[in-house]
Amino acid sequence: MFHDLHWQDTFHQEHPNARPAPASPFPAGDGIIEVGVLAPGAHMVYSFEMQRGDPLHFGAYSNRPISIALTTFTQFERWALAAAPYQELQSLQRNDGRLPKRIRFRASRKGCYQVVVMNLSNRRAKVIVEAQSLT
């Protein structure tokens, strides 16, 4: 007999008072869901290899002011090598003000695209990232 094994561990049943998880704004399918902590002024980079016409849906949620910017690989590389301030990052799309932060994009040509998530506050930020490329 397994003393630490209960029937609920083998046959999953929802608790009668369990609340359903909030619905995601993204359709089901392959994608990224990641949780992290960003230091003040730090950034995370997500790279997507896309064909012409491919759509990308990207969202970032945080307890602090953050920004997301969509760039081409060339734009990102110039910015990173120059070690320039975030405001100088050339972007195809940017979301600095609204919450939640979302970008919806359709590739105009084949290539590598980067999404940069930047912590704009002077405190650590807890960040949830959700991305999906739909084909």
CA distance 127 to 135: 26
Q: Are the CB atoms for 55 and 108 separated by under 8 Å?
A: no
- Whether residue 25 is contained in a domain is answered as no
Segments forming the whole domain that contains residue 86: 46-135
- Whether residue 91 is contained in a domain is answered as yes
The tens place of each residue's pLDDT in the chain, 135 residues long, gives 444 544 444 444 555 665 665 555 544 556 778 888 999 988 888 888 888 988 988 888 888 888 888 888 888 888 888 877 777 777 777 777 555 678 888 888 999 888 888 888 889 988 888 887 655
- How many domains are contained in the chain? 1
101-106 sheet: strands from edge to edge: 32-38, 125-133, 55-62, 101-106
pTM to 2 decimals?
A: 0.70
pLDDT for 76 equals 85
| CATH classification at residue 77 | 2.60.120.680
CA distance 3 to 18: 26
- Report the half-sphere exposure of 17 (CA within 13 A, side-chain side): 0
- Whether residue 3 is contained in a domain is answered as no
pLDDT for 134 equals 56
